[in-house]
Amino acid sequence: MPEDANPLSALWPLAPSGSTDWLLELCGDGLTGFMPPAMPDAVWVLNAMYEHERGPAGTSYHEYHQARLAEGSVPPHIVAGIDLEALGIATGGGLGRAGHPGPGWRRLRWAELAQRTGDPVVPDGLLPSYRCFPSVKKEDSWPLGIVPPTEGSLDRETWLRLIGILTEHSPAGPNTLCLAYYNPLMLAAADFDDLHVRTGRLGDAEILYDDAETDFSPSNLWAEDRSWCLCTDYDLWATKVAGPPALIEALLNDAEIEAVRLPWAP
């Protein structure tokens, strides 16, 4: 899409690729997102998952998908003569933007699922990802009654609440100048040299979620004064927020957001 045709451009115009230089020095490679250290504190905001009011079914996403393939209600996915459906697993998880699935579904907290199953919220030494909650899955596939967290992007509800809390804890409030970085993997025209960065007001950050050029929330969003920075890694189910202790405590104590400290990934 030409830049002048993108409705986002008026509020969040493109910024120089070099705007990320400080993150490269601080974090190293940003191919899947620049993961900041504590600044001076940090917390992991977990993507939302949902459970149907009837509870988790005994059938997994993969079993359901294979049954539909067998009955012919969905066509096989053949590429170069290879049946990809026979090789892969329908896990039930998604990649990119996500939101509340609709009537009949409720928010399922990671802590609640951990208490129910005996699995840790996040296994020691790991980051929030597809490797969490192994006992819930059947051969790596989630039960149909649970929508697992999306990967590589915040879900809409968490994004909106997070922007609200960041606004409350930024001295300039909605007028806080920010920059947003999208890693090359989430763009149709991947450019690994001229990085995709936009600049705008925190008060206008909600619209970044619906950028027509990508199906993801930004990989990184940070205040221009570098007082806080968040990173949503392309391969993870959570967003790391680094910033002052008051911001981190607000996230940990918020009724809508589910956030955890990971001592091995501060």
Q: Are 198 and 208 in contact (CB under 8 A)?
A: yes
For the CA atoms of 165, 170, 171, 175, the dihedral, rounded to the nearest 10 degrees, stands at -100
Q: Which DSSP state fits 141?
A: B
Question: How far is the C-alpha of 184 from the C-alpha of 182, rounded, in Å?
Answer: 7
140 to each of 23, 25, 89, 101, how far by Cα in Å? 35, 37, 7, 22
The pLDDT assigned to 207 comes to 96
The pLDDT assigned to 107 comes to 97
The pLDDT assigned to 73 comes to 78
pLDDT tens profile 227-237: 999 999 999 99
Number of H helices, E strands in the chain: 6, 13
Work out the burial of residue 54: count CB atoms within 10 Å of its CB; fewer than 13 is exposed, 13-18 middle, 19 or more buried. Answer: exposed
Question: How far is the C-alpha of 86 from the C-alpha of 109, rounded, in Å?
Answer: 33
Instruction: Give pLDDT tens digits along the chain (266 positions).
Output: 556 667 799 999 999 999 999 999 999 999 999 999 999 999 999 999 999 998 777 899 888 888 887 787 777 666 655 555 566 788 998 999 999 999 999 999 999 999 999 999 999 999 999 999 999 999 999 999 999 999 999 999 999 999 999 999 999 999 999 999 999 999 877 777 789 999 999 999 999 999 988 999 999 999 999 999 999 999 999 999 999 999 999 999 999 999 999 999 99
Work out the burial of residue 266: count CB atoms within 10 Å of its CB; fewer than 13 is exposed, 13-18 middle, 19 or more buried. Answer: middle
Residue with tokens 């991947």: 190
Q: Which of 259, 234, 192 is nearest to 34 (CA)?
A: 234
Q: Is the pTM of this model over 0.75?
A: yes
The pLDDT assigned to 58 comes to 85
Q: Which of 185, 191, 177 is nearest to 17 (CA)?
A: 191
Q: Are 121 and 127 in contact (CB under 8 A)?
A: no
Q: Which DSSP state fits 211?
A: -
Q: Which of 52, 54, 158 is nearest to 101 (CA)?
A: 52
The pLDDT assigned to 105 comes to 96
